[in-house]
Copies of this chain bind each other. A is one copy, B any other.
Amino acid sequence: MSEPKTVTACLIIIGNEILSGRTRDANLQFLGENLNALGIRLMEGRVIPDVEATIIANVNEARARFDYVFTTGGIGPTHDDITSACIAKAFGRKLIRHPDAEKLLLAHYKPEDVTEARMKMADVPEDSILLDNPVSRAPGFQVDNVFVLPGVPRIMQAMFDLFKHRLTGGAEMLSKSIASYTPEGKIAARLTALQDEHPALEIGSYPFSRDGKHGSTIVIRGTDAADIADAAEKLRAIMRDLGNEPQEVDL
């Protein structure tokens, strides 16, 4: 059986407000989880400012290195929304007013509310595919492997749900999480041995404190369900051997 391909993704979060701490990003966690469910692995995230040269350089580097690139932020109507123009420059394409996007916006706004600033949200790089926005209408767009999305989480998420069936995933990443009140420092050596026995799996350890007791959650990830089940069974035995009952964690 041939090894299933790993399909990779990068998220570029565009926005001074994230870097200044004004706004806490929620899109990386959403995409990490939801791409995973499609068999696509988020391999890198970047948070960059609203600066043209920075956006262009990051988009061009990422689209060459990853199967899919997602950007969030900077596609609204104000002067600091420069993402669409930057994506056009990154691809060396003209920024055009997309007739379908224009129609959408003209249908959405009352005539007296139509402003040039709002119509700017219909401007996309030539030969883009529009991405439906079921919340506030102004669409996102796709150019080749780059998906350009708004920063507001509930709009971004609603849009993602509408186009995700068009993404092609690879091997689905499965995972099993098991916790116990064994602190990391006590289970570490056994985990190293377990990882060595299962080189195709990714075994992660995450400490926690609860009711004054220290413990660790062990996450086993991989694409082979049988391999994961085998490692999980050994892990439960290790935890019991160290005097703590394993607890299955829903995640």
Chain B residues whose C-beta falls within 8 Å of the C-beta of A203 in the assembled complex: 79-80
With contacts A32-B18, A46-B46, A189-B116 known, is A195 near B79, CB below 8 A?
Answer: yes
Q: Say how far A12's CB is from chain B's closest CB, in angstroms.
A: 10
For the complex, give the distance between the alpha carbons of A29 and B23 in Å.
Answer: 7
Chain B residues whose C-beta falls within 8 Å of the C-beta of A46 in the assembled complex: 44-47
Asked if A17 contacts B219 (CB within 8 A), the reply is yes
For the complex, give the distance between the alpha carbons of A47 and B28 in Å.
Answer: 9
Chain B residues whose C-beta falls within 8 Å of the C-beta of A115 in the assembled complex: 185-186, 188-189
Chain B residues whose C-beta falls within 8 Å of the C-beta of A213 in the assembled complex: none
Chain B: CB-nearest residue to A195: B79
Asked if A36 contacts B21 (CB within 8 A), the reply is yes
Tell me if A78 is interfacial: C-beta within 8 Å of chain B: yes
Q: Which of A174-206 contact B (CB under 8 A)?
A: 175, 184-189, 191-192, 195, 202-206
Chain B residues whose C-beta falls within 8 Å of the C-beta of A237 in the assembled complex: none
Q: Which of A1-58 contact B (CB under 8 A)?
A: 13, 16-26, 28-34, 36, 41-50, 54
With contacts A191-B79, A202-B16 known, is A28 near B25, CB below 8 A?
Answer: yes
Q: Which of A76-125 contact B (CB under 8 A)?
A: 76-80, 109, 113, 115-118, 120
Q: Say how far A143's CB is from chain B's closest CB, in angstroms.
A: 23
Of the residues B30, B113, B251, contact of A22 by C-beta under 8 Å: B251
Asked if B36 contacts A113 (CB within 8 A), the reply is no
Asked if B32 contacts A80 (CB within 8 A), the reply is no
Count class of interface residues, chain A: 35 or more
Chain B residues whose C-beta falls within 8 Å of the C-beta of A77 in the assembled complex: 184-185, 188
Q: Say how far A200's CB is from chain B's closest CB, in angstroms.
A: 15
Q: Say how far A123's CB is from chain B's closest CB, in angstroms.
A: 13
Most buried by B among A18, A34, A47, A116: A47
Asked if A117 contacts B21 (CB within 8 A), the reply is no
For the complex, give the distance between the alpha carbons of A30 and B20 in Å.
Answer: 9
Asked if B28 contacts A18 (CB within 8 A), the reply is yes
Between A and B, 11 residue pairs with Cβ closer than 8 Å are: A20-B36, A20-B221, A44-B47, A44-B49, A46-B46, A76-B205, A80-B202, A80-B204, A115-B188, A117-B192, A120-B188
**Residue positions of A touching B, CB distance < 8 A:** 13, 16-26, 28-34, 36, 41-50, 54, 76-80, 109, 113, 115-118, 120, 152, 173, 175, 184-189, 191-192, 195, 202-207, 216, 219, 221, 251
